[in-house]
Structure 1
Amino acid sequence: MDLPRSFTIRESGHRIHNPFTSEKLALLGRALSPAPGTRLLDLACGSGEMLCTWARDHGVTGTGVDISTVFLANARARAEELGVGDRVGFVHADASGHVADEPVGLAACVGATWIGGGVAGTVELLRRSLAPGGIMLVGEPFWRREPLDRATVEGCHATDKDDFLPLPELVEEFGRLGCDVVEMVLADQDSWDRYAAAQWLATRRWLDAHPDDELAEEMRADLAAAPARHVRHQREYLGWGVFALMNR
Structure 2
Amino acid sequence: MDLPRSFVIRESGHRIHNPLTSRKLADLGEALNPPPGTRLLDLCCGSGELLCTWARDHRITGTGVDISTVFLAKARARAIELGVAGQVTFTHGDASDHVADDPVDIASCVGATWIGGGVAGTVDLLRRSLRPGGMILIGEPFWRREPPDQATVEGCHATSEDDFRLLPELLEQFGELGCDVVEMVLADQDSWDRYVAAQWLNIRRWLEAHPDDELAEQMRAELTAAPVLHARYQREYLGWGVFALMNR
Q: TM-score range by the shorter chain?
A: over 0.9
Shift of 1:13: 1.3
Alignment of 1:135-174 (within 5 A): 135-174=135-174
State how many pairs are aligned.
248
Which residue number in structure 2 is paired with residue 112 of structure 1? 112
Shift of 1:37: 0.3
Partner Cα distance (1:214, 1:80) in 2? 34
Which residue number in structure 1 is paired with residue 76 of structure 2? 76
Residue 211 of structure 2 is aligned to residue 211 of structure 1 = yes
Which residue number in structure 1 is paired with residue 127 of structure 2? 127
Which residue number in structure 1 is paired with residue 235 of structure 2? 235
Partner Cα distance (2:127, 2:8) in 1? 29
Which residue number in structure 1 is paired with residue 3 of structure 2? 3
Partner Cα distance (1:70, 1:13) in 2? 11
Letter in 2 for 1:176: E
Q: SS of the counterpart of 1:84?
A: coil
Structure 1 unmatched ranges of 5 or more: none
Partner Cα distance (1:166, 1:235) in 2? 15
Q: Can you list the C-alpha shifts for 1:40-81, whole angstroms capped at 9, x where unaligned?
A: 000000000000000000000010000000100000000000
Q: Can you list the C-alpha shifts for 1:173-213, whole angstroms capped at 9, x where unaligned?
A: 00000000000000000000000000000000110111011
Which residue number in structure 1 is paired with residue 99 of structure 2? 99
RMSD value over aligned CA atoms?
Answer: 0.4
Q: SS of the counterpart of 2:20?
A: coil
Partner Cα distance (1:8, 1:170) in 2? 29
Which residue number in structure 1 is paired with residue 179 of structure 2? 179
Partner Cα distance (1:93, 1:50) in 2? 18
Q: Can you list the C-alpha shifts for 1:100-127, whole angstroms capped at 9, x where unaligned?
A: 0000000000000000000000000000
Partner Cα distance (1:18, 1:193) in 2? 11
Letter in 1 for 2:166: P
Letter in 2 for 1:196: V
Q: SS of the counterpart of 2:79?
A: helix
Letter in 1 for 2:21: T
Partner Cα distance (1:19, 1:44) in 2? 15
Q: SS of the counterpart of 1:183?
A: strand
TM-score, structure 1 normalization: 1.00
TM-score, structure 2 normalization: 1.00
Q: SS of the counterpart of 2:51?
A: helix
Partner Cα distance (2:75, 2:111) in 1? 17
Letter in 2 for 1:66: D
Partner Cα distance (1:136, 1:244) in 2? 6
Structure 2 unmatched ranges of 5 or more: none
Partner Cα distance (2:150, 2:3) in 1? 27
Q: SS of the counterpart of 1:147?
A: coil
Which residue number in structure 1 is paired with residue 195 of structure 2? 195
Partner Cα distance (2:165, 2:145) in 1? 10
Q: SS of the counterpart of 1:218?
A: helix
Partner Cα distance (1:61, 1:82) in 2? 13
Which residue number in structure 2 is paired with residue 32 of structure 1? 32
Which residue number in structure 2 is paired with residue 222 of structure 1? 222
Partner Cα distance (1:49, 1:241) in 2? 16
Q: SS of the counterpart of 1:138?
A: strand
Which residue number in structure 2 is paired with residue 67 of structure 1? 67
Q: Which runs of 4+ in 1 moved over 6 A?
A: none
